Amino acid sequence: MEEKWFQFLFSGKINGNSLIQLKDGKILFYHFQYYSNIYIHKEKTFKKLFEIDLIDLLNKYEEEKRKDENSNDDVEEEENKILRYYYSRNTVNVKEINDGLILIGFIKYIFELKKK
């Protein structure tokens, strides 16, 4: 009986434990839990094209929201406590929609990433 084997053609470090191959061939890597970065690589060379820090985006969004609402310090401190709790228990979900829109579910938010 013939023995079957696999040949490893590429090895390298990636940042993520989950991946999605996008419709344009690129590969999106992310950690399902505990990390908040999304990475997009070329399909054949694995060259990193983009890195997206979801916590950084979320902090910028929350900061702009607070400025718009002119909320007081007590409310802000309570919101920060809630966000710190969620950061320690985060789970990332990613789905590509038919029209090239990528939806990223993180904490209690949904991010829309549109490829250009």
- Round to whole Å and give the CA distance between 31 and 22: 16
Please tell me the predicted confidence (pLDDT) of residue 77.
Answer: 59
Is 3 a member of any domain?
A: no
The answer to whether residue 5 is domain-embedded is no
Local confidence pLDDT in tens for the 116 residues of the chain: 788 887 766 666 777 788 889 988 898 888 877 677 889 888 888 888 989 888 888 888 888 887 877 655 555 555 555 555 555 556 788 899 887 899 988 877 888 988 77
Query: Is 11 contained in some domain?
Result: no
Asked if residue 10 belongs to a domain, the reply is no
SS3 48: strand
Q: What is the pLDDT of residue 99?
A: 77
Asked if the structure places residue 56 within a domain, the reply is yes
Sheet holding 109-114, edge to edge: 92-96, 101-106, 109-114
User: How much is the pLDDT for 74?
Assistant: 52
What is the residue range of 58's domain? 18-114
In a domain? residue 91 = yes
Domain contains 68:
yes
CA 95, CA 44: separation in Å to the nearest integer?
Answer: 22
Q: Residue 51: left if φ>0, alpha if ψ -120 to 50, beta else—which one?
A: beta
Assigned domain for 31 exists: yes
Count up the domains in the chain and report the number.
1
Query: Alpha helix (H) ranges present in the chain?
Result: 54-69, 73-88
